[in-house]
Structure 1
Amino acid sequence: MIRLHHVPLARSLRVMWLLEELGLGYEVAYYSIRDGSLRAPDFLALSPAGRVPVLEHHGAVWVESGAIVQMLCETYSEAGLMPPPGHAERARFLEVLSLSETVGCLLENLNLNQVFLRPPARPSATVVKLLNARLRAALAAMEARMEGDHLLPSGFSAADIMFAYGFELARYYVDLDQYPRLMAYWDGLRARPAYQRAKARDGEQDIYAQEFYPVPEEG
């Protein structure tokens, strides 16, 4: 039995996409970050931090999207979605995983400042401006290194899943048209049948209330 504990458009979408790429059957338990379901005792027994993703995999319980992605790639190594130790592309793969979490942390902090901070509190324009600049710098670094259709020379891998998730969410804070190579790359990934199946199961997101969040004005 495989069960994914999932919030629509959260990092658990990475795991959902990978499960689809692997062709695995799985159940989905849906939660919302707004209704208190992530603080329910049954869920906290699986994820003491109260965060998704959680993957129940044949009796094991795995947390943290990066770790789950690596565990799935190791468990189903025949799919070839992660270079093994000693492979020429291993370093690049691990670099992308770490950079993907850097992007994820920047997005999480932007979310805290611009989505979840409630009046009368106001986000710091200086902090948001700095986070936004760091996000754009991370994307620019990837833009400069894009040379083909995927992040590894050999083709599609779990590194694409890890990074593309953050790139998809960056649209709420950054004009992605300034990254034409990444946009072309993203268009190709969205055409993948497994991605489309994952999006069909993702559910309706209730994280973002608007299409774009500009940097707040000073004052």
Structure 2
Amino acid sequence: MIVLHHCPQTRSMRSLWLLHELGVKFGVSIHPFDKTLRDPQYLSLSPAGRVPALEIEGERMFETAAITEYLCEIFPERGLGRPAGDMDRMAWLVWVHFAETVSQHTAALTQQHVMIYPPEARSPIVTRLEARRLEKCYAAIEARLNTPVERRDYLLTSGFSAADISVGQAIYMARHFVKIESFPKLHAWYDRITDRPSFVASLPQKGSEVLYKQDFYPPLED
């Protein structure tokens, strides 16, 4: 039995999207994004009090990239991983983990705009710097999709994979702070992968408590 511990509009959405894409049987335990994640019971699943946490066959996992790698290994027939020796193995690992590079900048912006800091403690300078860092991440993805190798439709030459899920979910969150329209290859890729039923199934359900109350948060003014 697989159970995913999930908060809407957080990194755990990455694991939820992957599970839907894998087409395996699983359950979801939804948590509020608050101090209840510090309860001893939850800390037994995820010692840092973060989502996702995954219960699988009596074992427990946390950290999204680790969960991604493990699920792709135990369900290889789904074709979302790239095993050792595959021509795209190196690129698959790079992009699965690059999702965290995107997410760390989004997390900094989320803290400034949405939570933790009171309005008087929020920094316009930090919001501008982190937005620029996200733009550099977007440029890296744009360059990857714009290589001469058949102008890739996905991050890997061999086609859609969990790398697209990992980075795609990171972009879903990042778009709340930096728009993607000025990156045409990235924009087209994002539209392509988020048209998948598995992505739609991973979105917050109607009436769910969400992290972002606005579609877009521009950099703060001085």
RMSD: 1.7
The answer on whether the counterparts of 1:82 and 1:157 sit within 8 Å (CA) in structure 2 is: yes
Q: 1-side partners of 2:194 and 2:53: how far apart?
A: 24
The structural deviation recorded for 1:199 is: 2.6
Partner of 1:49: 48
Deviation sequence 1:98-131 (CA, Å, 0-9, x none): 2211001111111111211443532222222111
Partner of 2:138: 139
Q: What secondary structure does 1:46 align onto?
A: coil
Q: 1-side partners of 2:47 and 2:122: how far apart?
A: 28
Using a 3 Å threshold, how does the CA distance of structure 1 residues 202 and 102 change in structure 2: closer, same or farther? farther
Q: Which runs of 5+ in 1 are unaligned?
A: none
Q: 1-side partners of 2:135 and 2:119: how far apart?
A: 29
How do residues 58-137 of structure 1 correspond to structure 2 at under 5 angstroms?
58-119=57-118, 121-137=120-136
Residues 12-21 or 209-218, more deviating = 209-218
TM-score normalized by structure 2?
A: 0.91
Deviation sequence 1:35-72 (CA, Å, 0-9, x none): x3212221111111110000101111010011000000
Deviation sequence 1:131-174 (CA, Å, 0-9, x none): 11111011011112212221111111000010000111121111
Q: What secondary structure does 1:178 align onto?
A: coil
The runs of at least 4 aligned residues of structure 1 exceeding 4 Å deviation read 200-203
How do residues 132-211 of structure 1 correspond to structure 2 at under 5 angstroms?
132-146=131-145, 147-199=151-203, 204-211=208-215
Q: Which runs of 5+ in 2 are unaligned?
A: 146-150
Q: What secondary structure does 2:181 align onto?
A: helix
The answer on whether the counterparts of 1:117 and 1:123 sit within 8 Å (CA) in structure 2 is: no
Q: 1-side partners of 2:135 and 2:185: how far apart?
A: 14
Percentage of pairs with the same residue: 41
Q: 1-side partners of 2:11 and 2:116: how far apart?
A: 20
Partner of 1:19: 19
The structural deviation recorded for 1:203 is: 7.0
Q: What secondary structure does 1:82 align onto?
A: coil
The structural deviation recorded for 1:12 is: 0.8
Q: What secondary structure does 1:207 align onto?
A: coil
Residues 182-191 or 5-14, more deviating = 182-191
TM-score normalized by structure 1?
A: 0.93
Partner of 2:148: none
